[in-house]
Amino acid sequence: MRDGSAMPRMRGIVAASVAAASLLASDGAASAPGDARSAASVPSSAPSAPGAETDEQGLARLEREQKAIVEKLRRDIDATPKTDDAYQRKMRLLADIRKRIDAQNSRPWRRYVGPGTREAVYANYYRAMERRIEEFGTRVFPTFRGRKIYGELTMNITVDSEGRVIETEVVRSSGNPLLDRKAVDIARVAGPYGAFGAELSAKADQVVMTYHFRFVRAGEASEAGAASTASGPQP
């Protein structure tokens, strides 16, 4: 699984930048000829070709472009007489763009990690979470009317900076709603998973961990887990 660490924030900045560009273009279309605010003059917020830049580089680029959009509009406002009808329109436009950007920046910064994540600060936190789930899942293996329930499912587990579970999402069901619910209970009760250290806190407000649950019979146990346990995530 690819580490999608910065992608949600990148998508949010793209959305805010595209919205700002659209507002600029719309306002430019309504302005007098020579009012240089056309869509062509707005920096492009489209991501570069795949492999051309890292997520962090793309995030920095989009933030620069977003800043350029606001600075361009400010210069345009400074050049417009306050008595001109266009001045108030541009001020409202700037306020709208700022509102969109502020709304995006106020959202928690989420980082997505999974079994294929290599960056040590995330991989170490993931392994610690994995151990807690395996230990707890072994003690409270899912049952119904005294009989164990078997199956596999994949879940996204979101934790805050204190390691508390704030959200769970079954992204691939076992096909058994009861087993899915019991896996959610295991994920929640096994927490909290430990507060973020200084390094992790500097990179994320929340971490979304993709975990694969395997509830198997004794003869089907994988090398990663004992019989009748919740084993670790599979590649």
Convert the pLDDT of each residue in 195-228 to its tens digit.
999 999 988 899 999 999 999 887 665 433 333 3
User: 235: cis peptide before it, omega within 30°?
Assistant: no
Q: What is the pLDDT of residue 229?
A: 37
Q: What is the pLDDT of residue 64?
A: 80
Between 51 and 45, name the one with better pLDDT.
Answer: 51
Q: What is the pLDDT of residue 95?
A: 83
pLDDT digits (tens, 9 = 90+) for 162-187: 999 999 999 999 999 999 999 999 99
Q: Mean pLDDT over residues 112-117, rounded?
A: 88
Q: What is the pLDDT of residue 149?
A: 94
d(C-alpha 158, C-alpha 164), whole Å:
8
Query: pLDDT class for 192, splitting at 50, 70, 90?
Result: very high
**Shortest CA distance to 165 belongs to which of 201, 200, 209?**
209
Domains of the chain: 7-105 (no CATH), 110-220 (3.30.1150.10)
When the pLDDT of each residue in the chain is averaged and rounded to a whole number, the result is 75
Any idea which residue has 């596999």 for tokens? 152
Residue pair 67/98 in contact by the 8 Å Cβ criterion: no
CA 42 vs CA 61, 67, 107: distances in Å: 14, 11, 25
Any idea which residue has 């417009």 for tokens? 80
- Give the DSSP letter string of 44-109: P-PPPSTTSS-HHHHHHHHHHHHHHHHHHHHHHHHTS-TTSHHHHHHHHHHHHHHHHHHHHHTS--
**Whether the predicted pLDDT of 19 surpasses 50:** yes
Between 82 and 61, name the one with better pLDDT.
Answer: 82
Any idea how long the chain is? 235
